[in-house]
Amino acid sequence: MERTLIGELEKHVGETVSISGWVDVRRDHGKLVFLDIRDRSGKVQVICLTDHPEALAEAQRLRPEWVVRIEGIANERPEKMRSEGMNGNIELEAVKIIALAQAQELPFPKDEKVNLDTLLDNRPLTLRSERERGIFEVQATIVDSYRRSLMKQGFTEFQSPGLVGGDAEGGSAVFKVAYYDHPAAYLATSPQLYKQIMVGVFERVMTIAKVFRAEKSSTTRHLSESTQMDFEMGFINDEMDVLDVLESVMRDVVTEVAEKHSDIFALLGAKIPELGKEFPRITLRDAQEIVGSSENDLDPEGERKICEWAQREHGSDFVFITKFPASARAFYTMPDESAGPGLSRGFDLLFRGLEINSGAQRIHDYGEMVRRFEQRKMDTNKFSFYLQAFKYGMPPHGGCSTGLDRFTMKLLNLSNVREAALFPRDMNRIDTLLHGNGTSEN
């Protein structure tokens, strides 16, 4: 008999069907066993009665996470036994049960709330919980929605390399790779230089790229490997064109996520973000005034305060901070002396108290770029490949990069970015805890 997805059972009331999935919960009342069976499309309650003794006997043998195929009759539940949600009016009467795979006894019930180390140590199991599955269903929607929003605006996707020949940006802590008999290669800390090269080819480009940073800190918002959603666009007037596209993308993403996953937001106790009429755009200087900061940047406390302000004054969970000092940004950032001495066209997008995106208009003139290298005492030879793009004609352009893990974390009200990465890597963990001298400060 062909498999029926559990989410499609409503169309088969009264019919004999075959479902497949995992035993989510089993309640044994002796002559009556209830099973909650889970597949990718949802859950249903299965009832095993003495009318079908072989099925009942098999049901008594089942344990959580066993994999089963069950043939049965999709009965309508009696009126007073109905519940809300999927298949709340259906009960599958088991006629035949086939165990496809057994499971050992679980170390803890899979939906139980556990501490972060236990959660990650047991990831192949804990990912099966409703909560964890929900997080990564939402994440898949974010990525898909982000891409489609950009595609409809004329962006072309490209594959950015993970292995790079040098520590291009300098400053960031990079991972070194033994590369045949050559001195060294590194893991990419950003697709930045490549997406700029690609602006010369397709004007508007995007990439979902893995980036790697050997940061020797163990905070709730840093990972050694993370997923970035980048875009870069040519023929802009200034960085405000980039903000426009980014805002449209975030609106598309939030709208789609809210439409498709309101149940997961409810489950996680997360609120659908407020988008306001438009995301406020304020300069760093104005932001500092609002939060009463005297720093040259916004510290984490300042980021939280300015987000509260945006929420309160503009009904928006997002806020753009613009005109960062050039000295605080990467070498390729376009200066903006018109905004004030030493300022630039670099910006951040903050969301619920955290920077989730950073971007800028970039320098596009070859001569100006070379002068910038000289000012910063950087070696142009190391960047000869990148500089070709500028040598042979680059339009005014800009772009930005959204941290997928960070955005997922804040969107779903998670307290640690490790919960928003399927297989998080940090100083002390690659799947399993690493031995060594590191201490975990989660």
| 418 near its own copies, judged by CB under 8 A | no
Phi, psi of 437 (to 5 degrees): -95, -5
Minimum separation from the CB atom of position 66 to its own copies (A): 5
| Binding segment (CB under 8 A) for its own copies, from list 49-57, 196-204, 304-312, 334-342 | 196-204
> Residue 70, SS3?
strand
Residue 22 in contact with its own copies, rule: CB under 8 A: yes
CB of 42 to its own copies, least distance (A): 12
User: Which pair of structure tokens corresponds to residue 105?
Assistant: 């006894």
- Work out which of 25, 73, 86, 106 binds its own copies, going by CB under 8 A: 106
Among 58, 65, 91, 317, binds its own copies (CB under 8 A): 65
What are the residues facing 47 on neighbouring strands? 34, 93
Q: Between 61 and 82, whose beta carbon lies closer to its own copies?
A: 61
Considering only residues 176 through 195, tell me which ones interact with its own copies, judged by CB under 8 A.
176-183, 185, 187, 194
Cα dihedral sign, 216-219-224-227: negative
Contact status, residue 16 vs residue 73, Cβ threshold 8 Å: yes
Looking at residues 422 to 441 of the shown chain, list those that interact with its own copies (rule: CB under 8 A): 422-423, 425, 427, 430-432, 434-438
| Cα–Cα distance measured from residue 327 to residue 314, given in angstroms and rounded to the nearest whole number | 30
Cβ-count burial 27-37 (b if 16+ within 10 Å, e if not): eeeeeebebbb
Least Å from the CB of residue 17 to its own copies: 14
What's the CA gap between 318 and 410, in Å, rounded? 11
75 vs 122 by CB, closer to its own copies: 122
In the window 212-271, what residues touch its own copies (CB under 8 A)?
212, 214, 216, 224-225, 227, 235
Q: Is 300 helix (H, G, I), strand (E, B) or coil?
A: helix
> Which CB sits closer to its own copies, 19 or 284?
19
**Residue 3 is a binding residue for its own copies (CB under 8 A):** yes
Place of tokens 């099925």: 55
Residue that is written with structure tokens 């005109």 in the block? 323
The type of residue at 421 is: A
Distance CA 68, CA 70 (A): 6
Determine, following the binding rule CB under 8 A, whether residue 86 of this chain makes contact with its own copies.
Answer: no
Binding residues among 364-383 for its own copies as defined by CB under 8 A: 364-366
In the region spanning residues 300 to 339, those forming contacts with its own copies, defined by CB under 8 A, are: none
In the bound state with its own copies, the residue whose beta carbon lies nearer, of 115 and 294, is 115
Q: Which residue lies nearer to its own copies by CB, 186 or 351?
A: 186
Residue 264 φ/ψ, nearest 5 degrees: -70, -40
Say whether residue 151 binds its own copies (CB under 8 A): yes
Give the burial class of 284: count Cβ atoms within 10 A of its Cβ; 0-12 exposed, 13-18 middle, 19 or more buried: buried
Q: Which of residues 125-144 bind its own copies (CB under 8 A)?
A: 125, 127-128, 132-133, 136-137, 139-140, 143-144
Residue from 109, 154, 300, 315 binding its own copies (CB under 8 A): 154
